């Protein structure tokens, strides 16, 4: 029987490939650089024989299908072949419509990556240049498609370039020797080779070996991927990390170099034998008479060649922010701390679930605001804002305790602001997730009517009656109110939510929001940045191609974000903001103005108590809203205070819009400064912005619109509801949580992450506005003989001194091998995934063993000063520098408040 007949009679092998990817976007980004129109390379220790027909299906972690079709094994590489990993190259014979659309989408994305990839310069280093090895895969011809009921996935690339011309198919041939490396291409280098080729450390190495200063600038990032034991190509020019291996007593043979990334035009490579955590593969039983070795899942030897590295793409899916994750747990399913844990967030009014939330049913969108929150749901693919119990489209973010010790939330709580200000909690969004003894809390804790104090974990908390209430629980009470409104509207249980936060939120604050959702019985499926969510409400499914500025001035925070919208791809180019600039600060300026006029009118300074000051604040807010519509407003507060003679004093003041705008002008100009900085980071001019979106209630102020018009030469867009846009965008995105969607969100790191140096210096590692996902690696060495434990403190911020930045935590490295000072070196990798979750990995050089690295240790500012040898006067100067701007913009209102603290 001839060969053709034998192939015709052979039954197809059923092949199911399951990958760890959590979304179609991450799948595209990892494999786009290695895709060809004709086929793919599947890594397997037991490849199928050449000529075997295959019916394959590729799925990701949540069960979504990526590719499905038929193929034929055209060539194989056995396990003993050292030129590359074992596996088989298959040629597509048939793809369904959705699979072909995905392949086309990956090809377009690959074209953009190739067009944008610069030549990678080498940083100054004494390490020898390493050769690269690229496996050669026979090119495969494009395949016919067949109809499918699955909708085609639209293009992900903002600008579509012509796909690479496929090479004609050719008969199987032996794999030729690897070609020499292309000098202009950025190649990946295995960590084994990196350690083998680098020189020995100097006798007295720097304990923090971060290389030249410019290596951690945005222009020349240095990075090697410790997860895959290979150097990952990150966006922009870069060079191998100049690290040194521990000197060996005797020469050792150099390990064979790990295979580098496949050349352009080769097939996509999938890993079948990835790890023990992967689900087992499913094969159809082979036909009798054909020998076929079963796939055995054997543990890899100690020096297995590194997997083929995949260059990191310049664009990536977003969402938010960093959340510290000591392990690789899924960020959307943040596990609660055990009830017996000493670091547990204790609750007073909420009863958190005992375990992980199952997370079934509908997903709601929540705009968790400083002064007001908003909840929306997706009904028949249309977002709908839910009304509060009182009929409003927003919910006041206020929690209060009545005189009968009854908990009040939302509008009922807001009514207590004038009656019981010391028992009414507002503005929790500004302080949630911050340590009580941090510089920011120390500067602002006396600026609220209620008492701020530490909880059992040392975080900022509030006193409510006899209880100490964590700010996470305050946020959780607001989220529970949103959850109950949604359940009432939908008529079913709600356990999942997409929650929005300011783009400039720090990593601990984002973690606190997730925990607040868990307290409320909600699984936070995604944390979206508020400007990105507003852009979704503006541009989703509108087939537009624009560069948009989102100007988000809310009740307590300000964000400015520039995005590129291309159909349903929303790419953040740069972001900036100020979490202590919002409508509350505008109100305080008007309080100053009213009290000045009161002094001028009554010839008596204000000496009222907390209730009296709350009445003035309420009148200021009403005046601000009214003066946005009219030119004058009468403020009348009868019996505001009693003078020393016991006579009542009234406030009767007429305010004009001009007076209000003069008082608020410095804060509006501050927002424009932030806008200018963001445009500079995005490398854009004002003329490059196609549209301006106003979000947040304070953006309704006529002065804001007037100044933006002066800056950009045109009026802002008026088609988005400033109060509802963020919640509507979150609801729209909730529709993409459970299914493959054409919506792609691409975000950036809002603030720089770096390490603390002895003396209090701050070394920047991952710069702000770095596209996500991202990672950077560096080396540290022991500073004492036989040192077995090392610590590394991480901060987030833009100041050159750690005292003015946010403290993230301290990485503790345990189990170091004993050795002389400087001889033990550890590679530290900080990795931010597409959810902006921060992971820390450590690898000891000489043994190449992964070490235990936990980011759970937290020290007080005083403990940090002692451990890092920070001079007290330098730390104090940095804290004062950080708080100076807050003091300047706060005016005299906080002085009045401080005087009345403690008065009944």
Instruction: List the domain boundaries for the chain.
Output: 3-117+125-200+246-283, 207-243+749-870, 335-543+721-746, 583-663+889-900
Answer yes or no: is pLDDT of 660 > 60. Answer: yes
pLDDT score recorded for residue 364? 96
Which tokens belong to 852?
A: 């235990």
Show the DSSP H helices in 566-686 as ranges. Answer: 583-602, 610-627, 657-681
What are the helix and strand counts (H, E) for the chain? 17, 37
CA-to-CA dists, residue 465 to 450, 469, 558, angstroms = 11, 10, 32
CA-to-CA dists, residue 56 to 25, 37, 43, 76, 273, angstroms = 20, 16, 14, 17, 16
Angle at 32 between CA 30 and CA 38, to 5 degrees: 130
For 520, counting Cβ atoms within 10 Å of its Cβ (0-12 exposed, 13-18 middle, 19+ buried), the class is: buried
How far, in Å, CA of 434 to CA of 740, rounded?
Answer: 36
Best-predicted range by mean pLDDT among 251-255, 313-317, 395-399, 431-435?
A: 395-399
Instruction: Give me the half-sphere count of Cα atoms (radius 13 Å) on the Cβ side of residue 421.
Output: 20
Alpha-carbon radius of gyration of the chain = 30
How far, in Å, CA of 292 to CA of 11, rounded?
Answer: 13
Residues 251-260 have pLDDT tens digits of 444 444 443 3
What class, spelled out in words, does domain 335-543+721-746 have in CATH?
alpha beta
Mean pLDDT in residue range 179-193: 35
Which tokens belong to 156?
A: 């992900």
Q: How many Cβ atoms are within 10 Å of 594's Cβ, its own excluded?
A: 23
68 is catalytic: no
User: Long-range contacts of range 667-671, CB-CB < 8 Å, 24 or more positions apart?
Assistant: 667/581, 667/585, 667/586, 667/589, 667/889, 668/701, 668/703, 668/704, 668/707, 669/707, 670/578, 670/581, 670/889, 671/551, 671/553, 671/558, 671/560, 671/578, 671/581, 671/704
18 is catalytic: no
Answer yes or no: is pLDDT of 859 > 60. Answer: yes
Residues 49-90 have pLDDT tens digits of 888 888 888 888 767 778 888 888 888 888 777 677 888 888
Task: Examine domains 207-243+749-870 and 583-663+889-900 and report if their fold is the same.
Answer: no
Whether the Cβ atoms of residue 136 and residue 41 lie closer than 8 Å to each other: no
Q: Which of 472, 552, 585, 621 is flagged as catalytic?
A: 552
Is 583-663+889-900 in CATH node 3.90.640.10?
A: yes
Phi, psi of 793 (to 5 degrees): -95, 135
Helix/strand/coil (H, E, C) string of 827-877? EEEEEECCCCEEEEEEEECCCCCEEEEEEEECCCHHHHHHHHCCCHHHHHH
888 is catalytic: no
Residues 693-726 have pLDDT tens digits of 999 999 999 999 999 999 999 999 888 889 999 9
Q: Which of 104, 112, 530, 844 is flagged as catalytic?
A: 530
Answer yes or no: is pLDDT of 291 > 80. Answer: no
Place of tokens 């086309």: 104
CATH number of 207-243+749-870: 2.60.34.10
Q: How confident is the model at residue 331 (pLDDT cuts 50, 70, 90)?
A: very low
Mean pLDDT in residue range 587-597: 93
Q: Residue 738 contacts by C-beta under 8 Å, 6 or more apart in sequence?
A: 363
Q: How many Cβ atoms are within 10 Å of 211's Cβ, its own excluded?
A: 19
Q: Which of 18, 110, 429, 589 is flagged as catalytic?
A: 429
Phi, psi of 862 (to 5 degrees): -65, -40
Whether the Cβ atoms of residue 426 and residue 417 lie closer than 8 Å to each other: yes
Q: Which of 367, 472, 592, 844 is flagged as catalytic?
A: 367
785 is catalytic: no
């Amino acid at each position: 029987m001839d060969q053709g007949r034998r192939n015709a009679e052979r039954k197809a092998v059923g092949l199911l490939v399951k990958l760890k990817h959590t979304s179609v976007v991450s799948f595209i980004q990892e494999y786009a650089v290695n895709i060809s129109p004709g086929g793919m390379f599947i890594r397997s220790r037991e490849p199928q024989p050449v000529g075997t027909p295959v019916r394959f299906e590729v799925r990701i972690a949540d069960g979504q299908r990526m590719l499905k079709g038929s193929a034929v094994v055209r060539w194989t590489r056995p396990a003993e072949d050292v030129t590359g990993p074992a596996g088989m190259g298959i040629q597509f014979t048939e793809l369904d419509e959705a699979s072909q659309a995905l392949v086309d989408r990956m090809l377009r994305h690959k074209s953009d990556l190739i067009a944008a990839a610069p030549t990678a310069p080498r940083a100054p280093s004494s390490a020898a240049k390493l050769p690269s090895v690229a496996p050669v895969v026979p090119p495969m011809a494009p395949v016919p498609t067949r109809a499918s009921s699955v909708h085609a996935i639209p293009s992900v690339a903002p600008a579509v370039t012509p796909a690479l011309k496929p090479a004609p198919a050719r008969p199987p041939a032996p794999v030729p020797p690897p070609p020499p490396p292309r000098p202009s291409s950025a190649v990946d280098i295995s960590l084994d080779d990196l350690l083998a080729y680098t020189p020995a450390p100097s006798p007295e190495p720097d304990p923090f070996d971060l290389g030249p200063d410019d290596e951690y600038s945005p222009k020349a990032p240095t990075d090697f991927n410790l997860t895959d034991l290979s150097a990952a190509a990150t966006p922009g020019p870069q060079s191998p990390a100049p690290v040194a291996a521990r000197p060996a007593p005797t020469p050792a043979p150099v390990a064979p170099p790990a295979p580098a990334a496949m050349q352009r035009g080769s097939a996509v490579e999938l890993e079948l034998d990835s790890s023990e955590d992967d689900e087992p593969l499913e094969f159809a039983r082979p036909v009798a008479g054909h020998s076929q070795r079963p796939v055995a899942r054997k543990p890899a030897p100690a020096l297995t060649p590194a997997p083929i590295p995949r260059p990191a793409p310049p664009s990536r899916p977003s969402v938010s922010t960093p959340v510290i994750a000591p392990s690789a747990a899924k960020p959307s399913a943040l596990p609660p701390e055990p009830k017996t844990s000493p670091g547990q967030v204790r609750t007073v009014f909420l009863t958190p679930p005992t375990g992980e939330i199952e997370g079934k049913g509908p997903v709601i969108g929540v705009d968790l605001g400083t002064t007001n929150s908003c909840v929306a749901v997706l009904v028949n693919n249309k977002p709908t804002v839910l009304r509060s119990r009182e009929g409003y489209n927003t919910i006041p973010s206020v929690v209060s305790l009545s005189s009968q010790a009854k908990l009040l939330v939302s509008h009922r709580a807001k009514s207590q602001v004038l009656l019981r200000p010391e028992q009414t909690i507002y503005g929790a969004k500004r302080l949630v997730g911050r340590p009580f003894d941090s510089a920011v809390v120390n500067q602002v804790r006396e600026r609220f009517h209620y008492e701020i104090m530490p909880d059992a974990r040392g975080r900022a908390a509030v006193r409510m009656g006899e209880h100490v209430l964590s700010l996470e629980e305050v946020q959780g009470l607001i989220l529970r109110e949103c959850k109950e409104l949604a359940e009432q509207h939908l008529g079913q249980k709600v356990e999942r939510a997409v929650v929005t936060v300011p783009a400039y939120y720090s990593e601990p604050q984002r973690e606190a929001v997730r925990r607040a959702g868990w307290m409320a019985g909600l699984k936070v499926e995604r944390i979206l940045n508020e400007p990105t969510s507003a852009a979704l409400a503006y541009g989703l499914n509108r087939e537009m191609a624009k560069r948009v500025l989102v100007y988000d001035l809310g009740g307590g925070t300000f964000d400015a974000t520039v995005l590129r919208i291309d159909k349903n791809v929303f790419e953040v180019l740069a972001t900036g903001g100020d979490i202590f600039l919002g409508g509350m600060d505008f109100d305080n300026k008007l309080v100053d103005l009213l009290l000045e006029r009161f002094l001028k009118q009554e010839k008596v300074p204000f000496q009222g108590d907390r209730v009296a000051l709350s009445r003035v604040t309420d009148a200021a807010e009403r005046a601000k809203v009214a003066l946005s519509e009219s030119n004058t407003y009468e403020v009348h507060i009868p019996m505001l205070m009693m003078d020393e003679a016991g006579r009542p004093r009234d406030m009767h003041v007429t305010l004009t819009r001009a007076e209000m705008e003069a008082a608020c002008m410095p804060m509006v100009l501050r927002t424009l400064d932030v806008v200018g900085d963001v445009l500079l980071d995005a490398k854009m001019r004002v003329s490059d912005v196609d549209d301006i979106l106003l979000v947040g209630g304070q953006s309704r102020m006529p002065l804001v619109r007037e100044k933006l018009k002066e800056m950009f030469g045109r009026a802002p867009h008026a088609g988005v509801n400033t109060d509802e846009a963020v919640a509507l965008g979150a609801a729209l995105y909730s529709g993409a949580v459970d299914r493959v969607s054409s919506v792609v969100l691409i975000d950036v790191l809002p603030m720089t992450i770096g390490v603390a140096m002895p003396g209090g210096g701050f070394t920047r590692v991952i710069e702000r506005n770095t596209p996500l996902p991202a990672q950077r690696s560096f080396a540290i060495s022991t500073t004492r003989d036989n040192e077995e434990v090392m610590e590394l403190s991480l901060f987030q911020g833009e100041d050159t001194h750690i005292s003015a930045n946010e403290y993230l935590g301290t990485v503790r490295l345990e189990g170091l091998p004993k050795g002389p000072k400087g001889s033990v070196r550890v590679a530290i990798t900080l990795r931010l995934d597409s959810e902006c979750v921060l992971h820390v990995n450590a690898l000891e050089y000489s043994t190449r063993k992964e070490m235990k690295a936990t980011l759970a240790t937290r020290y007080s500012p005083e403990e940090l000063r002692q451990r890092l040898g920070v001079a007290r006067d330098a730390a104090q100067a940095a804290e004062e520098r950080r708080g100076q701007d807050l003091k300047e913009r706060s005016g005299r209102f906080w002085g009045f408040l401080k005087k009345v603290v403690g008065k009944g």
